[in-house]
Structure 1
Amino acid sequence: MDSDVEDDNSFDDPEFESIIKDVERAIDQDIYPERISQGSSGSYFVRNTNRDIVGVFKPKNEEPYGPMNPKWIKWFHRSCCPCCFGRACLVPNQGYLSEVGASIVDAKLNLNVVPTTKVVKLASKTFNYSKLNKAWTRTVRFTSEKLPESLGKRVKHGLPRKAGSFQRFVHNYKDADFHLRRFEAEPLPEETAKEFQLLFEKLVVLDYIIRNTDRGNGNWLIKYDKFELEEHEGEEEADECIVVSVPHISIAAIDNGLAFPYKHPDSWRAYPFHWAWLPQAKLPFSEETKNLVLANLSDMNFVQELTDDLYAVFKQDKDFSKNTFDKQMAVMRGQILNLVQALREGKSPLRLVQMPVITVEKKRSLSGHKRTISDSFTQSFQDKVPFFSWC
């Protein structure tokens, strides 16, 4: 059994915990997770006891380069093209932590674009297991038939639970690329376009802070509810009024597993933010976005709390390295510092991604003096140093 995370699927979110308990009951009732055919890793649609899809589960050991990845293309890649293996700036096989980390950043900043995601442990015969695990399962099941019913249920599966990210499923959303093409032909109404711009800026804030290396238009989702005409009769039959409801739009930032690098990507393979080519990226950040995130991101205590929250999750992994985590946070602080400057100077998302990348290491000043983020920010961009202390 994996020891990466606690054995008990207990959370401080009662609603999320209720969903997981229902999923476990569903698996006990032979309602198994279904492997998703798309993608380069083993990921699964998970159902509840009503057979409704309630989440997407991505096990750690079935990630693109994990030992139990069921997709042969990555095995071929690793075996035959080792020189191009993986993304050199990312920690291997920690994508599930990145998924959860993105959810933490989202919740901490009240962005509300990432579906709730947490580390969960599940077992199902539809997951990819080794031959040894499968042989052990057959032995356990044979043994359970000889045991009293109360004991037999406890060893029903005989499969080790897998640690992975569980993200709540969002319904009636489609790939952003699908809607973006439609918006070119059918421009959004003014009020809806403003709403979409604000949501887009929240996506930018999230992606930039976590330094997402895999944000194409196919891995964020849009839900667009068009307006409807409603007729209401007046007091007289001849009197009728038509109510036009404003179209509503929502986005969901999924597939956050390739983020939180421990160094900035090399220039030869920079992993650009694909949303930077959208027309929305050319508009300066709105006052609404500044009011939402700027005060918190300028507060070093807030940034430290965010780092502590991420540490509590990342340290659960059996391969956790404090030194590597510190490097990841140094990159994240540099991203935050750039973002703070861009927000204060009224830059656009496009101008933001064109700023020189920096890394901010947290160190104690020799003089004992603690600078504010504004002081560090000023020193960084006046002196043009790529690496400096955040005290």
Structure 2
Amino acid sequence: MVAAKQLATEPLRQQLPPSISSRTTLSVSAEIVGNIMQSISISAARSPATKAQHVVSSSKVTSNTSLPPAAPIVAKLFKTPQCATGGQNVSKVHNDLSDTVSSLNLQPIPRQELIKSVDSNAKNTQPAISIEVLKPGVYTGSSVYTEEISLLANQVQTGLQARVAPIPIDDCTGGVYYLRTKNRRLTAVFKPADEEPYALNNPKSFQKPEQAPSVSGIRQGIAPEDAAVREAVAYLLDHQHFAKVPTTMLASLYHPAFHYHASESLHRKIGSVQAYVPHQDTADDVGVSMFRASDVQAIAMLDIRLANQDRHGGNILVVEPTALVSSTSGTMTKAQTGKQVSLIPIDHGACLPRVSALSETCFLWLFWPQAKQPFSRAALEYIAALDAHHDLQLLEANLPSGHHLEREAALTLHVCTALLKFCSLDLKMTAHDIGMLMCRDEIVSQKDLSPSVLEMMVASTLIDAAVLKSEVLLRLEDKQRGMQAVAFNKQTQAQGKAWSNYVAIFMQTFRRMLASNLTAK
């Protein structure tokens, strides 16, 4: 592997990794198919000024039985994800069957109505303490994500209706809150987008410097307030619940406990809501000998696909295997040392940076012995079924309107999926081998280090003559569509042939780079 890395590095060292100056939002011009979350509206009792269609009675909650059947979204290998719970570290967690609530009335709320309601509330009255799940961009009627999300949203709403206040989490760079049920049991973790590092209402010291208005978010290639959508993306792309990413959704919440120091008035906050996983330890607290190879490889595969910029021991939860089936006990005693446990990955806001900003890719599992073992047969079958085009269609269908990835982030998914498939299936590389191609040689002082092999292959692809020509055509089409020629980050769901052509030429060139630089000679 070392020889392969040296072989790949030499012909590329002469080229500096350029960055694309233009960015655009993801929207793939392909047929949108099933497995789509439903719109969910859940509200506590409101003032008469609040629109009636946003209210669901807490005493009578009904389910919509007229949903059309779901259609398969990807290869048959990807079955429906199983529900899990996720979150941060707490020593005592209790479960109560009385917390269970009935199904929800799945009434779609147009985004314009949601915004109108938020504006009206801000001007006329204090917003209702409630949760409103943002509807997906395409409404086709799926029962898969609806079941998981409605259960989680119901549990959150019971606590909000009972006036159980969110609990701020101090040891985070952004504003993060535990959400609880009416019985005060932890059920979810809420991360408001406007409280992310360098965002407007960040409650910590991570404010954008006035002398550096162009500063990125907490990671390069990810803008402030863009981490929330990536949390939902990681859940949606964890097909078959292979890596066990907890149920995650984008929602609008209001509670006076949230941070509003830079806002003129109280308002609803949009952010990610992730199911809380009862646990006592993280990967930093226990020996790696307790980890299953299948769990480590599943997390590694997810991190490679998403180019995770922040995989450390604190965001891999250590859970008893039985807790995944029945979460009646969320504790783990030191007497269990030596017993194999299950790993749950959380905190995916630093995934899928722009393809020109991969310098901070970092994997804690890189030197774990399980990552150096050959991929299992199940893992290889899973990898073989991956398709970035289908993944982007899935995101297009399930992400709420106005909450999409940038084009360069979509390109990162294409690149990293191709890298994982080629290296594991064709070259028989391990997760460790692939990670070494993606990460720089040292963890510290990354700004002064040479680019990784992946960074240099991407840089060479970006300056390829055919790719540059297709980018010119893409900008011309964007101009004709009323977009700024240099604004690759404009959010629009309409895509044309020029973008599809750009992706095709870029990936054809990148695959050629893979073959020429990684294949043993």
Same fold (TM over 0.5): yes
Matching of residue 123 in structure 1 with residue 254 in structure 2: yes
> Residue 134 of structure 2 contacts residue 400 of structure 2 at CA under 8 Å; is this kept in 1?
no
Q: Which letter maps to 2:383?
A: L
Cα-Cα RMSD: 3.4
Partner of 1:60: 193
| 3-state SS in 2 of match to 1:58 | strand
Q: Which letter maps to 1:354?
A: M
- Matched ranges for 1:285-324 at <5 A: 285-291=375-381, 293-297=382-386, 302-313=387-398, 316-317=401-402
Matching of residue 46 in structure 1 with residue 179 in structure 2: yes
| CA displacement at 1:288 relative to structure 2 | 2.3
Matching of residue 202 in structure 1 with residue 298 in structure 2: yes
Which one is further off, 92-101 or 77-86?
77-86
> Residue 60 of structure 1 contacts residue 95 of structure 1 at CA under 8 Å; is this kept in 2?
yes
| CA displacement at 1:133 relative to structure 2 | 5.0
Q: Which letter maps to 1:316?
A: S
Gaps of 5+ in 1: 135-158, 227-245, 386-391
Matching of residue 281 in structure 1 with residue 371 in structure 2: yes
**Distance in structure 2 (CA, Å) of the matches to 1:67 and 1:131:** 6
Q: Which one of the candidate residues 96, 112, 130 is aligned to 2:228?
A: 96
Q: Which letter maps to 1:330?
A: L
Q: Which letter maps to 2:349?
A: G
Q: Deviations over 1:218-275 (max 9, x none)?
A: 211112469xxxxxxxxxxxxxxxxxxx945211110100111112436xx5332222
Q: Deviations over 1:171-214 (max 9, x none)?
A: 1242111013xx4xxx44xxxx6xx1001000001111111101
Matching of residue 221 in structure 1 with residue 317 in structure 2: yes
Structure-1-length-normalised TM-score = 0.70
**Distance in structure 2 (CA, Å) of the matches to 1:5 and 1:47:** 29
| CA displacement at 1:93 relative to structure 2 | 1.5
| 3-state SS in 2 of match to 1:56 | strand
Closer, same or farther: CA 110–78 of 1 in aligned 2, 3 Å: same
Partner of 2:167: 34
Q: How many residues align?
A: 311
Gaps of 5+ in 2: 1-49, 51-109, 115-131, 136-144, 323-337, 438-452, 462-466, 468-498
Closer, same or farther: CA 85–382 of 1 in aligned 2, 3 Å: closer
| 3-state SS in 2 of match to 1:74 | coil
| CA displacement at 1:315 relative to structure 2 | 5.9
> Residue 63 of structure 1 contacts residue 95 of structure 1 at CA under 8 Å; is this kept in 2?
yes
Partner of 1:388: none
**Distance in structure 2 (CA, Å) of the matches to 1:314 and 1:16:** 13
Partner of 1:211: 307
Q: Deviations over 1:14-63 (max 9, x none)?
A: 34313313422422322011110111000000001111000000011011
Partner of 2:133: 9
Q: Which one of the candidate residues 271, 284, 305 is aligned to 1:164?
A: 271
> Residue 101 of structure 1 contacts residue 313 of structure 1 at CA under 8 Å; is this kept in 2?
no
Q: Which one of the candidate residues 253, 264, 271 is aligned to 2:361?
A: 271
**Distance in structure 1 (CA, Å) of the matches to 2:155 and 2:298:** 32
Higher relative contact order (CA 8 A, sep 6+): 2
Q: Which one of the candidate residues 348, 360, 371 is aligned to 1:256?
A: 348
| 3-state SS in 2 of match to 1:119 | strand
Which one is further off, 27-36 or 58-67?
27-36
| 3-state SS in 2 of match to 1:78 | coil
Q: Which letter maps to 2:401?
A: Q
Higher strand share: 1
> Residue 57 of structure 1 contacts residue 166 of structure 1 at CA under 8 Å; is this kept in 2?
yes
- Matched ranges for 1:134-153 at <5 A: none
**Distance in structure 2 (CA, Å) of the matches to 1:80 and 1:377:** 37
| CA displacement at 1:110 relative to structure 2 | 3.5
Which one is further off, 89-98 or 304-313?
304-313
| CA displacement at 1:82 relative to structure 2 | 6.5
**Distance in structure 2 (CA, Å) of the matches to 1:55 and 1:5:** 27
Closer, same or farther: CA 110–129 of 1 in aligned 2, 3 Å: same
> Residue 220 of structure 1 contacts residue 251 of structure 1 at CA under 8 Å; is this kept in 2?
yes
Partner of 2:151: 18
Structure-2-length-normalised TM-score = 0.53
| 3-state SS in 2 of match to 1:179 | coil
| 3-state SS in 1 of match to 2:200 | coil
| 3-state SS in 2 of match to 1:120 | strand
Q: Which one of the candidate residues 352, 362, 365 is aligned to 2:434?
A: 352
